[in-house]
Structure formats: structure tokens, C-alpha cells
């Protein structure tokens, strides 16, 4: 019954073992559910539904037996609690949605699982078959994906009675990063071979770096946003988080593809096999090194690890090209104007009328709105709603919102300029390794500043990924970021995979107590 090795296996290995009937999907699911229970102290999971999980596993086994199984049939996955699901509660880490049940599954959830259908007959897309993965449960995140430490969740994790921050498996007194902190912690601790994440300003790349795993945010529009609770619509993008580039490639291939019926911003670009070119040699690959990513804001330990990684890339035949992304610093104010502006509008639907929390006592309609939203939202969310409403309000729109959108264009153009002389761009993911719980929780602006290296690619809608390349202060993992031009995910994954083949010591390292 017990398969001690299962949780150490990669997505690729598990898929193969399941296909060869060496292990059943049900056994696999049971093994991971036990493991999740044994490590609930991490606070990674916020909702489980063993019955639903095992039902999906049985279906996967049946499909495997019948030979009708999807490519990843029976492989378990955890979903960030920002994706709506029918079989599990969906809270987005907010009191506003405590216990909320969505009548449909997010497109990404459906594609990774049994297939697109949204729970109702819904046009052509309903036919699309899924990858056959089995959902283990929902993992914690910052409220409405707003945060970079996962300390902004209002939901009590499984095993806790009150809200508790997710812990970093490498050091439980440190943050896992955010907003996809639960996803990163679960994968790093081998509570799941893979998890979905979402990245608006770095929410896949930064927690992946903090927890020593691999994650990729594809080009904006590659993966459907339908069923992804919106934070900042022009920036939000789903992506996979796993323990290797090879796994990320398999997961991304299943996740991406047009959703013409449901998401107007999903690209028509057909789904792609991102594993196809993993083994291409890196000889002649031109890696751009933006000098702005290596300024004094970057801590020495992170810098050392990233520099070492770049030297290793040179050894693999890559050529380092100095480039400039002159508006890197501007990306902080630009992002923190645009994202809150969109969020202030996206979160207006949470008004206590159609779903979610409603205040108990109120005098009239407006009072009901104000109390409901005051009680339902946490501080960071309120802060961003306020900033967003302000920069869109009469008399400030041009000076703030419009100015930010113009600079956003300049930032996107800077990248195109840079890609004239390089194939992809490399740099740190974050200025430091994971910080201590509570260290920055009273200083929002300090948190904002730490996003400096992930924001530019987000604003331009470019694909970016994070891979572990070393260890820094306190033995915490250091992640390196790779940024590619639009639709160049295959190239990013290829570059990351070649590094991981040549230097397995980083992505295969496991935090203590998770063996």
C-alpha cells in the first residue's frame, strides 16, 4: 500500500508509472492525501475533499484501463485557491468568499483534469478533453493574489482553526513567498508533484524562487483566465509550478490553448508541445544581462548564486550579452498604479448581494455595502482598492493611470529593443531570499519594492520563469529568472532544462523532513 517513493517522483515519472500500471491513480492519490495530512503544519492546503479526489482517481484508473486516458492521467495536482472549482470551496484567501462554492470549474482546472465543460453545456469547448490529472485540494494564497509573502490570507489552513501564514518548507519561520505561496510550499515539501499558480506581478516566479522549485508564467493570453478570480485582468496569468523544467513543460502543454467561448484575452495560438525542444543544445544562445537587475538593491548572496549560474550557462555554450532595461525601477509605481486600478473595479462585485459575505447589521443599502466590504476584505486588499479608486477618480486619471499605461508601453518597447541583441534575458527573481514571517508585514511599500525584478515582464505580458540555482543566506534557495519574448516558452523551458540536466544539485535538493 505505502509507496514511500511516490512523492519524490516527478510528474513525468508518475505519468509513466501510472500508464504502465505500476501504480494506480487511487493509490497515488491516497499516498499524497496521507502526506498532506502528515505535513499540515505547513498550512499549505485550505480545502480537501478526499471523496472527490478519489472519485477523480478512480475515473483516471478507468480511463487508463480503457486506453482513453489523457497524457497526465492519474497524476495528482494541487490548485491555487484563486481558481474556482465545483468539488472544492473557493475562497481566494478572503473572508469575503469563506465557503464559497462555484457552480463551474475554471478552464485551467478543467483542462488539467477531466476536460473543459464548466459544469454546463457550453458550446464547442465543452468537447475539449483534459489531461486527466487528479485534484488533491486547494492551496493557500494571498487574499485575491495580492501579496508576496502569503501572509495576507484570511483563511484557516487545514489543521488550523484560525488563519495562519503558509510556512516555507526550507525554514518554517520564513515566508514561502506569494501570492502562490501555498502552491510553492506544497510542491517543495513534496505534498504534490505539481500545482497551479497565477502570476500578476511575480506570484509564480517569486514563491518558486523562495521555495527552490521551478515555475513558469507563460505569455499573457496563453492560458485561459476563465475561472481565475481576477485581481488585475491585464496582468493575471496562470502557470504551472513543479520541481523541474521538464515537468513544467508537460504541465504547460496541458494548461495552454485558446478558450474562444470564455476568455476574450486568450490567444488563438494553438496549444503547443513544450517538451519537444527540451533537449536542444544551448550552443550560441544569447542571454541578455540587464545591468539594472544587478544594482545595489540586489543582496550579495543572491547575486553570487545568479552570477555562478550565468557562468555555468557560458560553460553550456551560451553567450552573455550586456543589455539595458532602463525603466526597471519605474515598473514599481507603474505596476502599483495599474494593478490596483483594475483590482478596485474587479472587486466591486463583492458587495454582499449575489454571493459571499454580507454584514449582519446595517442601516440601509449603502451601509450594507460599506460594512460588508469592510468586514470581507483584509488590509492589503483595502489598500489597493483605495489606491485604485483614487488613481481612476476624477482629476487624477491622466496624471496617474494614463501616465502609467504610457510608461507601460515604453517598458514593453524596451524589451523589444533588448531582444534585438539577445534570445532571452536572465537575472535574479527577487533581491533577497525568503524573509522571516512578519518581517515586512507592517511595511507594504517594502513588499512592493521587492517585486522590482518580476514586474517588468508582467507589465509587458512576456513569459518568465524561475529555476533554483543555488542557496543563500540561512541556506535558503535562490531562484534565477529567465524572461523570453512573446510565445517563446519552449525556448525558456529548454534553457532551464539544459541547466537542470547539467546541474541537478539545485532542483533535486529537498528541504529537511520532507524526504
Partner 1 sequence: MSTAKLVQGYEVVIGFETHAQLSTQSKIFSRAPTAFGAEPNTQACAVDLGLPGTLPVMNKGAVERAIQFGLAIGSHIAPRSIFARKNYFYPDLPKGYQISQFEIPVVQGGQVEFFLGDEKKTVRLVRAHLEEDAGKSLHEDFIGQSGIDLNRAGTPLLEIVTEPDMRSSEEAVAYAKELHKIVTWIGICDGNMQEGSFRCDANVSVRKPGGELGTRREIKNLNSFKFMQQAIDYEVRWQIDQIEDGHAIQQATVLFDPDTGETRSMRTKEDAADYRYFPDPDLPPLVIAPEWVERVRAEMTELPRVMAERFVRDYGLPEYDATTLTQSKAMAAYFEAAVALCKQPKLVSNWVMGEVSRRLNADEIGMDQVPVSAARLAALITRIHDSTISNNAAKEVFDALWNATGAQIADTGALSVVDDLIESKGLKQMNDSGELEKIIDEVLAANAKNVEEFKAGNTKALNGLVGPIMKASKGKANPAQVNELLKKKLGA
Partner 2 sequence: MSLTSADISRIANLARLELAPDESERMRGQINDFFAIVEQMRQVNTEGIVPLAHPVVALPDFALRLREDVASEANQREANQHSAPAVERGLFLVPKVIE
> Does the footprint of partner 1 cover residue 351 (CB under 8 A)?
yes
106 vs 166 by CB, closer to partner 1? 106
Q: Cβ(193)–Cβ(76) under 8 Å?
A: yes
123 vs 475 by CB, closer to partner 2? 123
Binding window for partner 1 (CB under 8 A); candidates: 70-78, 162-170, 225-233, 318-326: 225-233
For the chain, percent helix, then strand, then coil, each to nearest 5? Answer: 40, 15, 45
Q: CA dihedral defined by 80, 24, 255, 189, rounded to 10 degrees?
A: 40
Q: Considering the complex, what minimum distance in angstroms separates the CB of residue 227 from partner 1? A: 4
Q: Cβ(447)–Cβ(331) under 8 Å?
A: no
Single out the residue of 5, 2, 81, 7 nearest to residue 46, CA to CA. Answer: 81
The answer to whether residue 94 is catalytic is no
Binding window for partner 1 (CB under 8 A); candidates: 61-69, 310-318, 346-354, 378-386: 346-354
Is 475 exposed, middle or buried (CB count within 10 Å of its CB: 0-12, 13-18, 19+)? Answer: exposed
Q: Considering the complex, what minimum distance in angstroms separates the CB of residue 79 from partner 1? A: 12
Q: Considering the complex, what minimum distance in angstroms separates the CB of residue 84 from partner 1? A: 4
Q: Considering the complex, what minimum distance in angstroms separates the CB of residue 96 from partner 2? A: 11
Active-site pick, 80, 138, 217, 440: 80
> Grid coordinates representing 234?
491585464
* 145 binding partner (options partner 1, partner 2, none; Cβ < 5 to 8 Å by kind): none
Active-site pick, 148, 153, 203, 488: 203
Out of 57, 59, 92, 216, name the contact with partner 1 by CB under 8 A.
92
153 vs 344 by CB, closer to partner 2? 344
Q: Cα separation of 505 and 423, whole Å?
A: 26
* 230 binding partner (options partner 2, partner 1, none; Cβ < 5 to 8 Å by kind): partner 1
Single out the residue of 218, 183, 144 nearest to residue 458, CA to CA. Answer: 218
Owner of C-alpha cell 494553438: 270
The answer to whether residue 179 is catalytic is yes
- State the binding string over 367-386 for partner 1 (x if CB under 8 A, else -): --x-----------------
Give residues 254-293 in contact with partner 1 (rule: CB under 8 A): 260-265
Owner of C-alpha cell 492521467: 73
- Hey, how many other C-beta atoms are within 10 angstroms of the C-beta on 374? 10
142 vs 246 by CB, closer to partner 2? 142
Q: Cβ(53)–Cβ(135) under 8 Å?
A: yes
The answer to whether residue 80 is catalytic is yes
Q: Cα separation of 190 and 185, whole Å?
A: 8
The Cα angle at residue 433 between residues 428 and 435, in degrees rounded to 5: 140
Active-site pick, 179, 180, 253, 331: 179
Q: Cβ(28)–Cβ(57) under 8 Å?
A: yes
* 514 binding partner (options partner 1, partner 2, none; Cβ < 5 to 8 Å by kind): none
* Helices 50-66/25-38 angle, 10° precision: 150
Q: Cβ(222)–Cβ(267) under 8 Å?
A: yes
Give residues 151-190 in contact with partner 1 (rule: CB under 8 A): none
Owner of C-alpha cell 509564480: 204
The residue count for binding partner 1 (CB under 8 A) is 47
Out of 227, 288, 468, 470, name the contact with partner 1 by CB under 8 A.
227
> Does the footprint of partner 1 cover residue 419 (CB under 8 A)?
no
Q: Cβ(239)–Cβ(204) under 8 Å?
A: yes
Whether omega before 179 lies within 30 degrees of 0, making that bond cis, reads yes
* 371 binding partner (options partner 2, partner 1, none; Cβ < 5 to 8 Å by kind): partner 2
103 vs 322 by CB, closer to partner 2? 103
Active site residues: 80, 179, 203
Residues that bind partner 1 (CB under 8 A): 83-84, 90, 92, 97, 100, 102-104, 106, 122-123, 225-230, 232-234, 260-265, 341-342, 344-345, 347-349, 351, 353-355, 365-366, 369, 389, 392-394, 397, 401
Amino acid at each position: 500500500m505505502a509507496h514511500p517513493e511516490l512523492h519524490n517522483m516527478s510528474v513525468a515519472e508518475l505519468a509513466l508509472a501510472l500508464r504502465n500500471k505500476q501504480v494506480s491513480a487511487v493509490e497515488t492519490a491516497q499516498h499524497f492525501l496521507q502526506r498532506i495530512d502528515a505535513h499540515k503544519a505547513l498550512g499549505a492546503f485550505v480545502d480537501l475533499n478526499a471523496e472527490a479526489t478519489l472519485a477523480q482517481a478512480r475515473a483516471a484508473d478507468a480511463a487508463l484501463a480503457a486506453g482513453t486516458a489523457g497524457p497526465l492521467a492519474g497524476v495528482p495536482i494541487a490548485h491555487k485557491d484563486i481558481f474556482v472549482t465545483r468539488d472544492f470551496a473557493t475562497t481566494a484567501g478572503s473572508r469575503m468568499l469563506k465557503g464559497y462554492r462555484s457552480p463551474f470549474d475554471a478552464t485551467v482546472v478543467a483542462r488539467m483534469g477531466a476536460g473543459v465543460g464548466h459544469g454546463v453545456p457550453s458550446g464547442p469547448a465543452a468537447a475539449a478533453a483534459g489531461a486527466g490529472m487528479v485534484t488533491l485540494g486547494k492551496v493557500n494564497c494571498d487574499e485575491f493574489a495580492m501579496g508576496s509573502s502569503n501572509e495576507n490570507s484570511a483563511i484557516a489552513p487545514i489543521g488550523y482553526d484560525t488563519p495562519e501564514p503558509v510556512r516555507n518548507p526550507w525554514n518554517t519561520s520564513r515566508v514561502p513567498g506569494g501570492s502562490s505561496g501555498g502552491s510553492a510550499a506544497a510542491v517543495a515539501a513534496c505534498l504534490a508533484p505539481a500545482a497551479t499558480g497565477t502570476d500578476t506581478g511575480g506570484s509564480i516566479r517569486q514563491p518558486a524562487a523562495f521555495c527552490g522549485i521551478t515555475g513558469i508564467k507563460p505569455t499573457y493570453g496563453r492560458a485561459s483566465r476563465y475561472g481565475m478570480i481576477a485581481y488585475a485582468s491585464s496582468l493575471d496569468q496562470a502557470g504551472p509550478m513543479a520541481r523541474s523544467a521538464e515537468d513544467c513543460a508537460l504541465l504547460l502543454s496541458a494548461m495552454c490553448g485558446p478558450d474562444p467561448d470564455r476568455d476574450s484575452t486568450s490567444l488563438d495560438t494553438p496549444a503547443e508541445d513544450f517538451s519537444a525542444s527540451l533537449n536542444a543544445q544551448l550552443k550560441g544562445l544569447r542571454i541578455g544581462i540587464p545591468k539594472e537587475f544587478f544594482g545595489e538593491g540586489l543582496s550579495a548572496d543572491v547575486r553570487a548564486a545568479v552570477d555562478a549560474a550565468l557562468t555555468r550557462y557560458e560553460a553550456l555554450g551560451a553567450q552573455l550579452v550586456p543589455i539595458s532595461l532602463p525603466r526597471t525601477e519605474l515598473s514599481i509605481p507603474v505596476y502599483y498604479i495599474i494593478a490596483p486600478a483594475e483590482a478596485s473595479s474587479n472587486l466591486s462585485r463583492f458587495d454582499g448581494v449575489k454571493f459571499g459575505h454580507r454584514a449582519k447589521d446595517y442601516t440601509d443599502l449603502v451601509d450594507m455595502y460599506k460594512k460588508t466590504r469592510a468586514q470581507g476584505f483584509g488590509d492589503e486588499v483595502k489598500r489597493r482598492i483605495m489606491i485604485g479608486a483614487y488613481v481612476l477618480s476624477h482629476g487624477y486619471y491622466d496624471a496617474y493611470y494614463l501616465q502609467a499605461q504610457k510608461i507601460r508601453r515604453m517598458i514593453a518597447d524596451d524589451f523589444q529593443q533588448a531582444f534585438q541583441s539577445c534570445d532571452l534575458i536572465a537575472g535574479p527573481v527577487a533581491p533577497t531570499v525568503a524573509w522571516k514571517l512578519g518581517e515586512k508585514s507592517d511595511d507594504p511599500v517594502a513588499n512592493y519594492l521587492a517585486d522590482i525584478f518580476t514586474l517588468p515582464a508582467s507589465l509587458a505580458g512576456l513569459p518568465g520563469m524561475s529555476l533554483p540555482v543555488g542557496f543563500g543566506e540561512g541556506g535558503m534557495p535562490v531562484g534565477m529568472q529567465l524572461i523570453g519574448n512573446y510565445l517563446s516558452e519552449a525556448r525558456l523551458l529548454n534553457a532551464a532544462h539544459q541547466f537542470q540536466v547539467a546541474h541537478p544539485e539545485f532542483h533535486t535538493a529537498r528541504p529537511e523532513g520532507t524526504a
